[in-house]
Amino acid sequence: MTIGPVIIVAGPTASGKSVLGLELARRFGGVVVNADSLQVYRELRILTARPDAKAEAAISHRLYGMVPVSERFSVGQWLTMAQREINSVHKAGGLPIFVGGTGLYIRSLITGIAHIPEVSAAVRREATKLYQQLGGVTFRARLAARDPKTAARLQDGDKQRLIRAWEVLEATGRPISEWQSGKSLGGLKSPFFVLAIMPPRAKLYRECDLRFESMLRAGALEEVASLERLGLDPSLPAMKALGVPALFSHLRGDLSLDDTRQIVCQAIRNYAKRQYTWFRNQLTADIEVADLTISQRDVTDALSRFLLTTSQQRTSVAPFPATSSVGKS
């Protein structure tokens, strides 16, 4: 197995990650690999701000739009695929450049996660049904009788984690706490460089508002209408993507477009704020930039120095476009 460098471009939504990832891939001979938990879904290109067809044609993009919205896709599944992509890109002499804003994906890539076997949809449905029948207090009490360690660190209202703990028990016969203390999956063995894009909050929030308008122009309503026609379980991750619930309500006549705009823009800003806080507190970046229009030289110089310390330094380096600016994701 070839071990070469890995680049990670992280930051909140609408900060410019996709534009930067594309430019770095072109400059350093890289391949862009998705690290966003919703951009994996095939039918949600517009509302998840996936790179467009032009960007995908210019530079190879991996792990984008490869999962149907009808499926639940776990961080463990993504991590397994991500490791394969790293090996594949390195074997071909390329540079993997991970781009995304899902903190759990990025952390699992760097440090690894506990390996827990996949749980069937039938077991998950039964666990969810039981929670709905019993309520949080009684459900947690039942979990405590079988997995006291996990129950002790969860609250009665922590629905998703309580259901997850129960379904793992049912599927494997072992508490999730035992699985979590066992051998981990993943964890980068390659030298890696983390670049965080953290624009000023006021600018970031303006970009969030502009994003929804661009989504509407690009066909977000049509995309959501197609999603609604599939008649999917509303608890699926794709059905809870930013903008989807409110746009559903608008299409059903329950919300005006102006009210929908206000709700979705606020949701995007709230999400960006949570991401901003997570990256600020949980991610140690090798370089952090606020504005790519004035930080291009710092970025490329830092990456060049990093690559010089590895075995995959590129000999031909193209300049950034003169008009480069903070982009849309």
Looking at residue 182, what is its pLDDT? 74
Max distance between CA atoms of the chain, in angstroms, equals 63
Q: Is the pTM of this model over 0.95?
A: no
Return the exposure string of 172-206: e unless at least 16 CB atoms fall within 10 Å of the residue's CB, then b.
eeebbbbeeeeeebbebeeebbbbbbbbeeeebbe
Q: What is the pLDDT of residue 58?
A: 95
CA-CA distance, 115 to 136, in Å (whole number)? 27
DSSP string, 223-250: HHHHHHHT---TTSGGGGSTTHHHHHHH
- 280/293 Cα distance (integer angstroms): 21
Rounded Cα–Cα distance for residues 114 and 116 (Å): 6
Helix (H, G, I), strand (E, B) or coil at 20: helix
Could you give the percent of the chain with pLDDT greater than 90?
A: 74
Fold of 121-182: Histone, subunit A (1.10.20)
pLDDT tens-place string over residues 260-299: 999 999 999 999 999 999 999 899 899 999 876 667 788 8
Nearest to 69 by CA among 232, 182, 272: 232
Residues of the chain with CATH 3.40.50.300: 6-114+186-308
Cross-strand partners of 288: 196
- pLDDT exceeding 70 applies to what percent of the chain? 92
pLDDT for res 3: 74
Give every residue of the chain whose pLDDT is below 70, as ranges.
Answer: 1-2, 183, 292-294, 311-329
What's the CATH architecture for 6-114+186-308?
Answer: 3-Layer(aba) Sandwich (3.40)
* Structure tokens belonging to residue 194: 């983390």
Cα 182 to Cα 107, 113, 175, 192, 327: the distances in Å are 18, 10, 11, 25, 41
Over residues 185-203, the pLDDT tens digits come to 778 888 999 999 999 999 9
Distance in angstroms between the alpha carbons of the first and the last residue of the chain: 32
CA distance 250 to 64: 28
Nearest residue to 195 via CA among 94, 288, 64, 308: 288
CATH 1.10.20.140 domain extents, the chain: 121-182
pLDDT reported for residue 2: 55
Tokens of 255: 């919300």
